[in-house]
Structure 1
Amino acid sequence: MKQVLIGFGMLCFFFQLKAQTVTLVDKATSEPIRYATLSSEIPPAFELTNSKGQVNLSPFKGASKITISSFGHQTIKISYDELLTLGDIIQLENSNLNLSEVVISGNRWSRSSENLPTKIISISPDEIAFQNPQTAADLLGVSGKVYIQKSQQGGGSPMIRGFATNRLLYVVDGVRMNTAIFRGGNIQNVINLDPFAMEHAEVLFGPGSVIYGSDAVGGVMSFNTLTPKFSLDENASISGNAITRYSSANNESTGHLDLNVGWKKWAISTSISAWDYDHLRQGSNGPDDYLKPFYVKRINEEDMVIPLED
C-alpha cells in the first residue's frame, strides 16, 4: 500500500511539473524559440528556454508580472495565472527592430556590411516570399538595383552597371554557374535557377575578380538554396510547401513542391517546379505608337511577321 501511495504521489508530481512547462514558438514560422528569457521580481526568478523552446514555470508560481523577452521578438509582460491560461504553447510576434545587415556569402565569409568597401545588397527570404517572383531574374529585379533585359516571357538577363553575361558571375551555394567563355550579349541562363528553391540572394556590385576570378569583373550574384533543417528531438521531422499560381498578364501557370526530412544528425531537402508561359497581353487603350499589332515567328528557317489576332 505504501508503494502504491508513493507511486501515485510521483505521478501527480510528474503531471504537475508537465502542466507547468510551456513552449515558446515564433508566431510566423511556428519554430521553437531557443534561449528566450523569463524573469520576475516577486518571487525573484530567472529562466531560459532550452533548445526545444521549453521552460519550467514552477519558479514563477504566484508572480504578478513575468517578463518574457527574446531577441527579434516583442516583449510580453504577463502574470503567472494568465500565462497558464494560454496553454502549453506561447506564441511570440516578431518585432520591427532593424539591425545592421550581415552579408552571408558576398565575400565568402560572414561580415557586417558596414565593414565592406564594396556595395552589396541582400534579398531576404521574407522579401522573396512577399514579391513572389516568376523567375530567378525577377528575383534579382526585386532589389531595384539590377536591370533585367527580357527577350521573351519567362526570360531574363541581369545587367549590372552596363555589364552582362561573361562579365557577371552567378554563384549557387559557392559554385559558379558561368565562365568568361560566354558571349558578351545577353543570355537568359539565370532562369535555370528555381526562385522557389532560393533561401537567400545577394548582389555584389563592382569587381569581384580577386575572390571569384577574372569573369567577375562587373559583379557577382550569389544564391543560397534551401537549407535542410534538422529535427529537434529523436523523431523524424517532415515539413514542406506546395504552391500553385496563375498570372493573367502572360497566362503563366506555375506549380512547386518542396519537402524537408530531418533527423537528429541527417537532413535532406528537395524541390521540384514547373512553369508554362504564354504571350504577354497588352492594353487596347492608349497611343497607337505603344501598340504592337504583330509578332515575329521562325518558319522554315525564316523570320515571318505574323499579325496578332488579339
Structure 2
Amino acid sequence: MARQAARPISKTQNTFHESRAPRHMRSPNIHPWALTRPARNFCARRPREIFIAKMKRESSASSSIARHKKRRARNEPCLLLPPTKRDRPVNQHKNRSLARVRAFRASGQLFSFANIAAAAAFALIAIAATGPAARAQSVTATASAPQQQPGTVELEAYVVSASRTAQNVKLTPSSVTSISLSHMENLQIPDLRTALQTIPGVNVSETGGAAGSQSAIYIRGANRNQTLFLIDGIRMNAEDWTGNYANYLGAADLAGFDRVEVLRGPQSTLYGSAAMGGVVSLETARGRGSAHGSVSIEGGSFNSIGGTAAIAGRKPLMSGLSASPQSLSYSASLSASYTENDRDYNIFRQASGSTRIEYQLADSFTAGFTYRGLRSHYEEPGPVGDPTQAGDLNLNLDIATVYVDWSPIAAFDTRLTYGWVQNIYDWVNRDGSWPSNAHSTRNVIDWQNTWRAIEQIQVVAGVNAEWSHYDSGDAPASERLASAYINVVANPVKNLELTAGVRGDDYSTLDSHATWRAGAAYRIEQSKTTFRATYGTGFNAPAPQYAQGGGHYAPSPDLKPEKSKGWDIGVEQDLWNDRITLGATYFRNDFDNKFAWDYGSYPYPTYNIPDATTKGVETYIYARPVDNMGVQIAYTYLDTRDNNGACLPRMPRHVLAADVNYQFTKRLFAGVGFNWVGGRPVDSSWATSEMPSYSTVRLYGGYEVCSGLKLKLRLENLFNKKYDTVAGYPALPFGVFGGIEWKF
C-alpha cells in the first residue's frame, strides 16, 4: 500500500479481506432546481447594462452567503456550501470529538467561501476584459482559437514530448497520443486520472477507489515508479512518497491545463530516470486570442459540489523599447471541489489554481512564468475489513517555473528554465498514531538548445541539473543530479524521419548511467499510411532513502538502479478523407534489477530482483463516420511475466476504453462511454486470488440554453457495477452529476 503507517508488516499478513464492512447508504443527491433557476437568470433578454449590474450584485460574497444561510435556516439543500451533519445521514461509526467536528465544519465552510469569492472575482475581471477595449484587438488574434464541434475527436497535429521540440505527429517514430483537454471537457471527463484511462497502452489504478485517493499510472506493463510524470517540463517523480506523483494525480482535476501528451516506450534518453515505460506530460494553458473565460459549477451524488473559473487571452503591447511586435499572454484558473464519496470516513476536498504569464517580442524572444498549486484533505478509510489503516492525509503541492526562450537567428533557439517543486505530505492514523510528516523540495535548471543545421537535420542538445531534499522527520536525505543529452532528427527524403540520441546521468547517490535510443518513421502519402519503429534503453534511480536509509527503509548500499530495454513497431492508417484513423503497435520491454522490499523486518531493506518481461499490442480507432458524430476506441492486450513466470500484479491482460458521441441538434449533445478490464492477476503479495474482470458504462449530455451557457448531466457507473481497481478498495457506485457552464 502506498500510504501506510510506519509499522512492520509481515509477508504472510493478509491485509485485504473478502468480506465487506457495512456502510450507510447515501442516495444520489442532484438538485434540479440548481440547474433551472440560474438558466432563467442568465438567459433573460435584458439590456447589457442591466445584465452586468445584476451579475455584479449576485456575485457579491456577502449577499451570496446571506442567501445560502437563509436556505440552511429553512432546511433546504445548498449547492455552494459543504454539507453539514444536518444535511447528511449521521454516521455513528465516526468516532470524532465534538470539537473536531466543529473545526472541520468551519474549515470546510471557510474553504468554500474563499474559493467562491475568488471565482466570482475572476468572472468579473473577465467580463470587464471582454468589453470594447478587448474586442478592439485584431481579427487575426481573435481567430487564432477556432471552435470545434463537440463530437470531433481533437487529436493534436503536433507534439512536443517526442523530441522536446514541436514535431508532426504523423511523422514521429514514437508512439505518442496528444489530446486537448477541451475535448476531455466535452466528454465530461471529470479528472485527470479518468482522462488518462482513455489512451491506448495506459492503465490507471486507484488506491482508495474514490475521488482524492492515490492513483498510479501503468504504461505497457511498467510499474508506476517507471512512468515519468511532467508538469510544465518539470519532473514530479521521486521514490520518496512525499514527491510521488500518485498523491497529485488522485486529487487533480483538468482546470488550467492545455493538453495531455502520453509518450509510450523507453524515453530515458530525453528525460532521464523513471521514463522506462513512458512519459506523461502536462502543460499549463497559454493565453490565445481575445480575452475569454468560463465559469462552471457541478454537484451531485455523494454530496459532491465543485466549481471552476478561468480566464485567458493575449494582448498586443506598445513600447518604446522596440518597434517589433510585442504581446502579453495570460491564463489563470481556480477550482474547488468537495465530496463525501461512498464509504464512511472518506471525505475529500481540494482547492487548486494555476497561471501562466508570457511576454513575447516578435518571434525571437519569449519570457514567461507558470505556477500551479494544490491544497487537499483526504480521509482514507483503509481497505475493507481493516480500519487500522484509516487516517487523514493533508497534501500541499506547489510547482513554479520561470523560462526564457531566445532565437538569435532563424536556425537556432535556446531555452533556459528554472523550476521549483515543493510537496508537503502530512499523514496521521485515525487513532492519532504513526504520524508521517514528510516534506520534499526540488530545484531544477534545464538548458535546451535546438539547432537546424540544414533543412533536413535538427539537433536538440542540453544539460540539466537538479537538487532534491527529502525530510521525513528522522533522517533527512539529499540528492544531486547532473545530466547531458543530445538527440538528432533527420529527414533525408520527404516523409522519412530518423532519430537517434544518447544521454548521461550522474547522481550523487550512485554511479553515472548512460542510455540511448533510435527510431524511424515513414509515411506513404498516396495511401496515407505511416510505419514507425523505435528501440531504446531506460533506467530508474533508487531513492536516497533506499541506499542510505531513512524513514521506513534500512540502508542498502549495494542497491543497483532499475534497467530496461524496449522496442516497438507499428502502423497507422488514415481512411475515408481522414474521417477514420486507426493504428496498431506491438511492443516489448525487458526489465532488470527491479526494486523489492523485505517486509519481514523493520526498517525495510531494499534489494534487486531478476528480470521481468512485458509485451503486447495496443490498438486505437478515432473516427467521424458522419458529421457531428465522434467515435474513439482504445484497446490494449498485455502479457507480463516475472522471473518465475507469474503475472505481474495490477497488470490486466485486457483494457478497453470506448466512447461514442453525437451532436443531435445545434444545442443538444450526448454520448456514451464504456470501459472493460479483464484478465486481472493477483493484486499484491498479500492477496492470493485473481481479481475479477469488470466493465462500466457512463452516459453524458449537454444542452446549450443560449449562446455560451450550457447545462450538463452525466451518469457514472450506470449499472452500479461493484469492483475494485486495488484489492480491498471498492470503486464508487452509480452516481448522477449535473452542472452549469458559462463561457464568455
> Structure 1 length as normaliser, TM-score?
0.54
Give the CA deviation at 1:302: 7.5
Residue 335 of structure 2 aligns to a residue whose secondary structure is strand
Aligned AA for 2:309?
L
Give the CA deviation at 1:111: 1.7
C-alpha distance in 2 between matches for 1:178 and 1:128 = 25
C-alpha distance in 1 between matches for 2:240 and 2:384 = 38
Query: Are 1:199 and 2:258 matched, yes or no?
Result: yes
Q: Is the 8 A contact 1:169 1:177 kept in 2?
A: yes
Aligned AA for 1:170?
F
Match among 304, 307, 312 for residue 255 of structure 1: 307
Query: Are 1:122 and 2:181 matched, yes or no?
Result: no
> For 1:47-86, what aligned pairs fall within 5 Å after superposition?
51=140
**Map of 1:105 onto structure 2:** 161
106-115 vs 239-248, which deviates more?
A: 106-115
C-alpha distance in 2 between matches for 1:94 and 1:134 = 16
**Map of 2:431 onto structure 1:** 300
Query: Are 1:277 and 2:339 matched, yes or no?
Result: yes
Q: 1:214 to 1:293 in 2, by over 3 A?
A: closer
Q: 1:173 to 1:53 in 2, by over 3 A?
A: closer
Query: Are 1:134 and 2:190 matched, yes or no?
Result: yes
Query: Are 1:242 and 2:295 matched, yes or no?
Result: yes
- Flag structure 1 segments of 5+ consecutive residues without an equivalent: 1-48, 55-72, 74-90, 232-237, 282-291, 304-310
**Map of 2:272 onto structure 1:** 213
Residue 274 of structure 2 aligns to a residue whose secondary structure is helix
C-alpha distance in 1 between matches for 2:304 and 2:233 = 31
Aligned AA for 1:187?
A
Give the CA deviation at 1:192: 5.2
C-alpha distance in 1 between matches for 2:272 and 2:156 = 29
C-alpha distance in 1 between matches for 2:254 and 2:148 = 29
> Structure 2 length as normaliser, TM-score?
0.24
Give the CA deviation at 1:97: 10
Deviation by residue 1:85-133 (Cα, 9 ceiling, x = unmatched):
xxxxxx9989979999432333211222333332111222342112333
Greater helix percent: which structure? 1
Q: 1:261 to 1:114 in 2, by over 3 A?
A: closer
Deviation by residue 1:152-176 (Cα, 9 ceiling, x = unmatched):
3223222212334431111122222
Aligned residues, how many?
205
Query: Are 1:174 and 2:263 matched, yes or no?
Result: no
Deviation by residue 1:156-213 (Cα, 9 ceiling, x = unmatched):
2222123344311111222222245559999333245441211110111111100001
Q: 1:186 to 1:105 in 2, by over 3 A?
A: closer
Deviation by residue 1:130-160 (Cα, 9 ceiling, x = unmatched):
2333322122113254211112322322221
Aligned AA for 2:315?
W
C-alpha distance in 2 between matches for 1:195 and 1:128 = 9
C-alpha distance in 2 between matches for 1:105 and 1:139 = 18
C-alpha distance in 2 between matches for 1:150 and 1:94 = 29
C-alpha distance in 2 between matches for 1:109 and 1:171 = 15
Q: 1:106 to 1:132 in 2, by over 3 A?
A: farther
208-217 vs 159-168, which deviates more?
A: 159-168
Greater strand percent: which structure? 2
Q: 1:101 to 1:216 in 2, by over 3 A?
A: same
**Map of 1:150 onto structure 2:** 206
